[in-house]
């Protein structure tokens, strides 16, 4: 029935649903004139009530060029979603799924028009604009390659590093912008290069330094005294740290014995 309604000159009554998600949180909006509740035929995580909001989107194009395949949304400035962009954004990507169906369709057939992620927001007095890129852009990017260097090229805790994260539980005692007091005391320097994360995983920031009772974050987080957090150890990617802190030298991804002599500048002999 979707195709029949979509191509009809009079029977179609299109409704577009905008499903935003970041981690376990989700925002549901529709450009229709009224709220719209739906379960099937959507995926279970997309079920729920879609709030009617003023949303205007650009045309959906198909092109290998990211700029032409991008999608721009113009939204009213008071929707809850925009709070994610008014201060320091939470960690993790925000995805967008644009779904289209027709009101009154007996089969409730829905079509996914567009999928991608939200890159950022721009604010104006009477509206905000969201810049989005399609999922195909990420799929087309080249992956990172191993580097020939003295330090390890693996990302900490990834499949090459093979260390299983074992975060320490702590409680926030004081908050002074990027300096966060913690209890119980921790080993000084153990968490530099790691990160602090809230229990629900919604907020995360890199730790640039720590002593026994203070961790210094890369940027502020909305934390409060008494709040429980998790602390992940960091790594400076040297062989010494890999062996001493993690006992993981078998999986070290660097080449610490690269000769100091450069044959291109000093010659072979």
What's the pLDDT tens digit per position in 216-230?
999 899 899 999 999
Matching fold, domains 2-140 and 168-232: yes
Max mean pLDDT among 106-110, 147-151, 244-248 falls in: 244-248
Q: What topology does CATH give the domain 168-232?
A: Thrombin, subunit H (2.40.10)
- Assigned CATH for 2-140: 2.40.10
71-110, pLDDT tens digit by residue? 999 999 999 999 888 876 666 789 999 999 988 777 778 9
Question: What's the pLDDT at 67?
Answer: 57
Cβ atoms 51, 163 nearer than 8 A: no
Q: Would the pLDDT of 243 be above 60? A: yes
The tokens describing 243, both together, are 């062996």
Question: What's the pLDDT at 105?
Answer: 76
2-14, pLDDT tens digit by residue? 666 565 656 668 8
33-46, pLDDT tens digit by residue? 999 999 888 989 99
Instruction: Tell me what the mean pLDDT of segment 185-189 comes to.
Output: 95
How many whole angstroms separate alpha carbon 51 and alpha carbon 49? 6
Question: What's the pLDDT at 166?
Answer: 93
Residue ranges per structural domain of the chain: 2-140, 168-232
Residue 188's φ and ψ, nearest 5 degrees, are -55, 135
How many whole angstroms separate alpha carbon 200 and alpha carbon 90? 12
How many whole angstroms separate alpha carbon 205 and alpha carbon 92? 11
């Amino acid at each position: 029935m979707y195709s029949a309604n979509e191509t009809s000159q009079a029977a179609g009554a299109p409704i577009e649903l905008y499903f935003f998600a970041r981690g376990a949180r989700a925002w549901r909006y529709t450009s229709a004139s009224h709220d719209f509740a739906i379960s099937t035929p959507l995926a279970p995580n997309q079920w729920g009530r879609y709030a009617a909001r003023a949303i205007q989107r650009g045309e959906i194009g198909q092109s290998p060029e990211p700029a032409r395949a991008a999608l721009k949304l113009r939204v009213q400035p008071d929707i809850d979603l925009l709070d994610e962009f008014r201060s320091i954004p939470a960690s993790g990507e925000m995805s967008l799924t644009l779904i289209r169906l027709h009101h009154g369709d007996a089969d409730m057939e829905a079509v996914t028009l567009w999928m991608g992620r939200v890159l950022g927001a721009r604010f104006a007095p009477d509206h905000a604009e969201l810049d989005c890129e399609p999922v195909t852009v990420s799929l087309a990017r080249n992956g990172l390659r191993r580097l020939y260097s003295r330090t390890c090229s693996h990302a900490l805790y990834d499949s090459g590093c093979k260390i299983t994260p074992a975060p320490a539980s702590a409680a926030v005692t004081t908050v002074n912008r990027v300096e966060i007091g913690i209890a119980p005391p921790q080993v000084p320097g153990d968490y530099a290069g790691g990160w602090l994360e809230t229990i629900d995983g919604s907020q995360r920031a890199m730790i640039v330094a720590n002593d026994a009772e203070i961790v210094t974050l890369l940027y502020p987080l909305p934390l409060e005294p008494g709040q429980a957090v998790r602390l992940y150890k960091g790594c400076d990617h040297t062989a010494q740290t890999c062996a001493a802190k993690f006992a993981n030298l078998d999986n070290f991804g660097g080449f610490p014995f690269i000769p100091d002599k450069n044959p291109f500048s000093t010659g072979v002999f």
